[in-house]
Amino acid sequence: MVCYIFLGIISIIHVNHGFLLDNVNTVHIYVNPNGSDNNTGTDLGNPVKTIEKALLRSDELGRRDKDIFIELTTGYYELESTLRVHNIRPRKLTIRAYQGQEVHVTGGKRINSSAFKCVTNTGSLQRLPSIARNKVLQVRLSDVGITDLGTLQTIGFYSKHIAPLEIFENEKPLTLARYPNKDYININQNYSDGKSFTYLSDRPKQWHNEHDVWAHGFWMWSWADRAIRIQHLDPVNKNITLASKTRFGLRPGHYNGINPTAVGFNHQGGYFRFVNVMSELDEPGEYFVDRDNGVLYVWPSKDAPYSEKDQIYASIVPTCIDIIWSSANIVLEGFVIEACRQNGIHANNVQNLTITRMKIQNTGSDGIASYNGHNIKVNLCDIRNGDGGISISGGDQITLTPSGNEISDNIISNFGRVEYVGSDGISVDGVGIHVHHNTLFNGSYKGIDIRGNDHIFEYNHISKMCLKASDCGAIQSGRHFSWRGNVIRYNHIQDTQRLVPGADVRGVMLDDQLSGVLIENNVFNHNDVHVNIGGGRDNIVHQNIFYNTTQFSMQLDARGADGKWHTSDMLRYLNKIPYTNSLWSKRYPKLATIMAGHNPGDPVGNQVTENIFYAVGYPQFQTYGEKFQSDWFNVSNNIYISDVGSFSAPRYGNFKPGCLLKDFVKQTNFKDPVLPNQVGPRNNVGPLHIQTIQPDTGYLSGSPHSTSNCVVKPPAKQPTPVYLPDGSMPNTLYQVPENKGCWFSFDKCPNHQELEKHRRPTSNQFYRDTQAEQRDQSGTNETACLNKVPEMVNKCGSGSSFAVIYGPTGAMTLGGEGCYFARYYCPRTGWNATGFFEDKYADQKLNGAHNESVCLSRANAQWKWCGSSKLYPLVSIFKPTGHLRAAGAGCWIKHEKCPADTTLKHMFYDGFGAANLQTDDNMDSCLSRAEYFWHHCGNHPEYKVTAYYRPRSVSATYPF
């Protein structure tokens, strides 16, 4: 106690846990588990025993203008029922650990170690596996005052269930006995009733007297789990009938415990495990509750009998603390909440609630569930071992009124321990929730689930998500056109990889046409797929580091372009929102015009710009969808690199770009990537008495300035030079009189006597129409020259055959009928003829003479068939249009004009890119060089640059 004298008035100030509290304006009520509810609780020496009594005393002692502090002193507070907290007055009600003391508020009941005995009953021993019979301990629960065992129930796929009685040992959850302990059993054959099947295992034949067995599995999809009671089990015939149908049906399984990811999307689901099987209590850390006889069986985690120091709790209370409807101005601070069958804290329709420095663990559902709240603050909390972390909603979508809710500086870990799908780390819904500086790791499903508008997610560290399911994201949202304005920035998202059969998992998954999201300035590291845009519109992916993918950096698709998928449902949801009124149309102008122009399911307006992509041996983009159009996605001004030395210290999480990226950084004003010490909590989290261990980030510790070894390699040697009609080499087949103009050489031109004079069989002359060149620029523009083929085919008529050569570059093509090859040598057949040959297989078998896309696709197919030799490229030419496509080695660049660098050849091999940027092996890297060289040449809109990736016969032109 400290006394201060001010202006002749003496005030008594209590220095209490960082607060200066004036006794005139506050009431302190002290609580201790060894106190008495007959005490006043108004001083530390006379504490009340229960928090419930303290709340009653607060109403008795606190006037409207007095703030209440309920001071919890050291000990375990075992709740007999949900603690209901209500505060509707202007005063502030604070429940906290007094001076940072160790306080546990538990929904469980402790079982003393001395209550556990060896198993001696013959029937019980027979049920236990032989390896467990001298290891497992038992206790009759009624003897220790536990009669409410709860009920096993159908869980999984967003059930948000109330768990039955669970067992926690030294603050860690034990596992209900099951088989297999880690892997799954495959369905062999399913029957038409939707709940019966045969399975592939002999294990149940070893069981004795098991009658309340459940099956927890991914029955159809590896993103939808469900636990269902088994109605009938026939171990001999390996037949199961479930008590109810699964949500999506049944299918045979292909789970492989040795390599679970060996099968993908088409063979997902169809696997399960048996749960609640006493005969499978076969390893330390497992338990089983004999509900018929009220006996708990436990194999202690340390594989030795319990001692007095061990704390074993059985969960009893559903939700530990419930903040009553319409409450306000409440603070919960500095203590542990644990062993709750559902939520640690539940709050519905409350405001000005602060939950700080708490440790919330071992819950049957979410640690914190707050719905329809305003100004809810959750910060500096350690939330672990639940079936979910924080679920929070608030704000008004119709008026776009923000909630003021904030989740910051928390560690949320090991969530989804029993129910997998829907047990997310943070789930937000509503408007304007700010989620920042959190660490989330080890999640069975999503790290962050997004619903609603204008949420901000920044400075979070998210790692190891989707551990039990596939087709999910570390951050995920989807299936609403109206959920716009969400921002994902300055986060580290890493190590999210598929571990089960099914579809890919992603760092950020914008599922089922989600639109209007900004993904900016994040570091993505070592994910299967870094970002997925699943058919949505107007998403912006800007200035991110995409490092070290195991599948693709990005997936882009057009799943709603056919007008089906979920578009009709989403439009029905959208029509419930006033998205065209002045408020909404001003906030989201592109949403207001969604019904104008394009089909609303078309993924238009997406921007992927100024990102740095690093990967060795993997393509950067996967695109799919029958109606996918590349112009729906503006993928531009990105850079693709395979040199790890261009990042400062990736192993330490420092991805600051340099070396080969210096020019790109300068050109785009690329921001320095966020560092590991800038994401996650900014202070120690949890109660003061606990030294919370920060999770492993996956990076080396420390922050060195740089560990890069930047080496700029000399340009790679050009592949063996041979003449190709694209103009990359001097024309050795048609020697035109001079290196200017647009020239023709005719084999046949039946309908045009003047041109017929220039037929090659009778004359080596070439024909040049200088008057036409003045009209159509064909004499000074290679593209215009070669594009004259259809015009000349029309003039010459049926049976025409000719060549067109652009003098300045030697580029040429053929005109006439049929699909042709320009070929040199095919190692597979040994055919070494050089020149132009009809692709008879394409013409006779594939309609290649009349289908341009079929004809041009033959170049790459035939080159691969011949052996993909770097020495012998191949070209397909569709003679009716003259369009051609080259297949071969390397990345080649062609510019129309390069005013800023006159030393560049008109078409050249990108040797620098091959040596330093993997352009010979990475299609995305090659195609991005069109934009690079356009900038290099001076940014002239009239002079386009095209990059040709010959190994796949694809090209990209910039500007588009």
pLDDT at position 759: 58
Mean pLDDT by 10 residues, the chain (960 residues): 30 37 77 96 95 92 83 97 93 96 98 96 95 97 97 94 96 98 96 95 95 96 97 97 95 94 91 98 98 97 96 98 96 98 98 98 98 98 97 97 98 96 97 98 97 98 97 96 97 96 96 96 97 95 96 91 81 94 96 88 93 83 75 88 89 93 93 96 93 82 75 89 85 86 91 66 72 91 94 93 93 95 84 83 95 95 92 94 95 94 94 90 87 92 94 90
Q: Is the dihedral of CA 124, 130, 133, 136 positive or negative?
A: negative
SS3 230: strand
pLDDT at position 710: 79
pLDDT at position 632: 87
Q: Which helix (H) or strand (E) element contains residue 57?
A: helix 51-61
Strand-by-strand arrangement of the 426-430 sheet: 83-85, 321-323, 345-348, 368-371, 390-394, 426-430, 448-450, 473-478, 506-511, 529-534, 552-557, 621-624
pLDDT at position 728: 87
The one-letter code for the residue type at 676 is P
For strands 801-806 and 819-823, give the pairing.
unpaired
**How is residue 470 annotated by DSSP?**
S
For 652, list phi and psi in degrees, rounded to 5: -100, 5
Report the C-alpha gap between 256 and 229 in whole angstroms: 24
Spatial contact of 333 and 311, defined as CB atoms under 8 Å apart: no
Nearest to 441 by CA among 676, 168, 122, 641: 676
pLDDT at position 721: 81
For strands 312-315 and 108-111, give the pairing.
antiparallel
Instruction: Please provide the DSSP assignment of 65-134 as one string.
Output: T-EEEEEEPSEEEE-SS-EEE---SSS-EEEEEGGG--EEEESEEEE-GGG-EE---HHHHHHS-GGGTT
* Residue showing tokens 């588009």: 960
pLDDT at position 914: 92
Query: Residue 773: which residues within 8 A CB-CB, separation 6 or more?
Result: 741, 742, 779, 780
Structure-block tokens of residue 40? 């006043």
Nearest to 640 by CA among 942, 313, 214, 931: 931
Structure-block tokens of residue 486? 């969400």
Nearest to 329 by CA among 313, 350, 348, 346: 350
Which ranges of 742-851 does DSSP label H, i.e. alpha helix? 753-756, 770-776, 782-786, 789-796, 840-845
pLDDT at position 697: 84
Return the exposure string of 711-750: e unless at least 16 CB atoms fall within 10 Å of the residue's CB, then b: eeeeebebbeebbbbbbbbebeebebeeeebbbbbbbbbe
Considering only the C-alpha atoms of the chain, give the largest distance between any 2 of them, rounded to a whole number of Å.
123
Instruction: Please provide the DSSP assignment of 633-653 as one string.
Output: EEEES-EEE--GGGEEEGGGT
- pTM for the full model? 0.88
